[in-house]
Amino acid sequence: LDSDMRPSLHRAVILILDASPAGVTALVLNRPTPILVSALAGETGRYQAFGDNVLHAGGELGAGDTTPASSPLLPIYWLHSCEWLPEARELARGTFAGGDSE
């Protein structure tokens, strides 16, 4: 990835979840934000099981993608150890990505 195009990715540690000609879905592992997942979850929200975890920057990059990384319209992906979460994808033993938390 061209760091001139996405300065936030300069020296980033990136875990690629999917790649196709249309773009890449990845998690940036070394870009924590000051936001806790509980700020997204509320009292009983979708991400409550992950409430005390810090949100990291990352997500989808596609050809010609101009969506700012701070946009609330970007989807949220997560890396976790919750094997019980429906539709979570096991990446390695005990490490999962995504899933349906509703």
Give per-residue pLDDT as tens, 33-69.
Answer: 888 877 776 655 566 667 787 877 665 555 555 555 5
d(CA 102, CA 85): 10
Q: What is the model's pLDDT at position 70?
A: 54
Q: What is the DSSP letter of 99?
A: -
Mean pLDDT of 58-85: 64
Give the predicted TM-score (pTM) of the model: 0.60
Is 22 exposed, middle or buried, given 0-12, 13-18 or 19+ CB atoms closer than 10 A? exposed
d(CA 58, CA 44): 25
Q: Where are the domains of the chain?
A: 23-97
